[in-house]
A = this chain, B = another copy of it.
Amino acid sequence: MDVSQIELVSRYADILQVGARNMQNYTLLRELGQSRTPILLKRGISATIEEWLLSAEYILAGGNPDVMLCERGIRTFEGYTRNTMDISAIPVVQQLSHLPVVADPSHGTGLRDTVAPMARAALAAGADALIIEVHPDPDHALSDGAQSIFLSQFDRLMAELRNIAPAIGRSICLDRVASRSWAAPPARSTETAH
A8 at interface (Cβ–Cβ under 8 A)? no
Contacts of A121 in B (CB 8 A): 87, 121-122, 124-125
| Chain copies in the assembled complex | 4
Instruction: Report the Cα distance A121→B123, complex, angstroms.
Output: 8
A73 to B146, CA, bound (A): 26
Name the B residues within 8 Å of A89 (CB-CB): 78
For chain A residues 1-55, which have a beta carbon within 8 Å of chain B? 2-4, 21-22, 24-25, 27, 44-46, 48-50
Q: How large is the interface on A (under 10, 10 to 19, 20 to 34, 35 or more residues)?
A: 35 or more
Q: Are B92 and A114 in contact (CB under 8 A)?
A: yes
When the two chains form their complex, are residues A86 and B92 in contact, meaning their CB atoms are under 8 A apart? no
A1 vs chain B, min Cβ distance (A): 9
CB closest residue in chain B, given A84: B86
| B residues less than 8 Å from A88 (CB atoms) | 81, 84-85, 108-109, 114, 117-118
Q: Measured between alpha carbons, how far is A4 from B88 in the docked complex, in Å?
A: 37
Which residues of A does B touch, CB under 8 Å?
Answer: 2-4, 21-22, 24-25, 27, 44-46, 48-50, 74-81, 84-92, 95, 108-109, 111, 113-114, 117-118, 120-126, 160, 163-164, 166-168
Q: How many angstroms between the C-alpha atoms of A108 and B91 in the bound complex?
A: 13
Asked if B90 and A87 sit within 8 Å, CB to CB, the answer is: no
Given contacts A2-B27, A121-B121, 9 further A-B contacts (CB under 8 A): A21-B25, A48-B77, A48-B78, A48-B80, A49-B80, A79-B79, A81-B88, A88-B108, A92-B114
Q: Which residues in B have their C-beta under 8 angstroms from that of A74?
A: 76-78, 84
User: Closest Cβ of chain B: how far from A176's Cβ, in Å?
Assistant: 23
